[in-house]
């Protein structure tokens, strides 16, 4: 099994008049198994692991949420420890794992920013 990353870029320029709403690229990770069908290699998706938008790769709370989903999926699949470490290493090359403290700090800063905008701080 291996990790396959898919990159999606929105096709419709619905946001051309609103550049601040540009969704940008998003990345999806899938766990894939290679099989041979009639002598030809075919890839079969074993599990969808998660997705994240490019603009959130630097946001610890979003990265933490991504990894929570990955951990749930890998636990449900029951992959071996060695296989899990290999998969996580491949995922970490794109999405760094965030600690609980980093995620909480990020959420706290976002909430403070919203309260400031609302005029409550």
Q: How far is CA 77 from CA 47, 57, 68, 72, in A?
A: 8, 26, 14, 9
Mean confidence (pLDDT) of the chain = 88
Report d(CA 56, CA 36) in Å as an integer.
37
Q: Which of 43, 46, 52 is nearest to 92 (CA)?
A: 52
What does the pLDDT read at residue 119? 80
Q: How far is CA 33 from CA 1, 9, 36, 47, 101, in A?
A: 5, 25, 10, 10, 35
Report d(CA 31, CA 48) in Å as an integer.
6
What does the pLDDT read at residue 10? 75
What does the pLDDT read at residue 14? 62
The residue ranges of every structural domain in the chain are 2-118
**3 state DSSP class of 36:** strand
Q: Is 61 in contact with 98 (CB distance < 8 Å)?
A: yes
Mean pLDDT of 14-28: 73
Residue 121, pLDDT above cutoff 60? no
Report d(CA 76, CA 65) in Å as an integer.
17
Residue 15, pLDDT above cutoff 80? no
Residue 23 per-residue DSSP state: -
What does the pLDDT read at residue 107? 87
Mean pLDDT of 81-101: 94
Residue 71, pLDDT above cutoff 90? yes
Q: Considering the entire predicted model, what is its pTM?
A: 0.80
Name the pLDDT band for 96 (thresholds 50, 70, 90).
very high
Mean pLDDT of 35-56: 93
């Amino acid at each position: 099994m291996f990790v396959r990353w898919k990159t999606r870029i929105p096709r419709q320029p619905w946001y051309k008049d609103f550049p601040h709403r540009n969704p940008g690229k998003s990345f999806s990770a899938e766990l894939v198994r290679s099989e041979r069908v009639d002598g030809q290699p075919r890839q079969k998706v074993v599990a969808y692991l998660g997705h994240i938008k490019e603009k959130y790769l630097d946001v610890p709370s979003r990265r933490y949420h991504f990894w929570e989903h990955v951990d749930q999926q890998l636990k449900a699949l029951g992959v071996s420890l060695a296989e899990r470490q290999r998969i996580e290493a491949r995922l970490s090359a794109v999405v760094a794992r965030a600690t609980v403290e980093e995620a909480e700090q990020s959420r706290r800063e976002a909430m403070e920013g919203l309260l400031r905008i609302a005029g409550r701080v």
